[in-house]
């Protein structure tokens, strides 16, 4: 199994959906591997603006957890 040196999370935070992608690079940094994707309904957003930071944070956390599962 290949070892990874760095992990990355990409987020798409929208009014309706929060998406997360978890990736890792190999020890040499030459390859990036997609480890998981997560998508959950958005919370705390209205027309592209954060209106409830706690709810938005919760949705981001859930999307990342879904990507890690």
pLDDT at 59: 98
What would the pLDDT profile of 16-55 be if each residue is shown by its tens digit? 999 999 999 887 777 889 999 999 999 999 999 999 999 9
Strand order in the sheet with 4-13: 4-13, 17-26, 32-41
Residue ranges of alpha helices (H) inside the chain are 53-68
pLDDT at 42: 97
Number of separate domains in the chain: 1
pLDDT at 64: 96
Residue 35's domain spans which residues?
4-68
Largest interatomic CA distance in the chain: 44
pLDDT at 26: 80
Residue 2 confidence (pLDDT) above 70: no
Q: Specify the CATH number for the domain of residue 13.
A: 3.30.420.40
- Is-contact 56 40, C-beta < 8 A? no
Around Cβ 24, how many Cβ atoms within 10 Å? 16
């Amino acid at each position: 199994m290949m070892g990874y040196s760095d992990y990355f999370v990409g987020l798409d935070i929208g009014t309706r959906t929060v998406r997360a992608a978890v990736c890792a690079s190999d020890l040499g940094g030459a390859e990036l591997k997609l480890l998981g994707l997560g998508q959950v309904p958005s919370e705390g957003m209205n027309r592209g603006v954060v209106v409830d930071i706690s709810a938005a944070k919760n949705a981001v956390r859930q999307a990342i957890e879904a990507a890690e599962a």
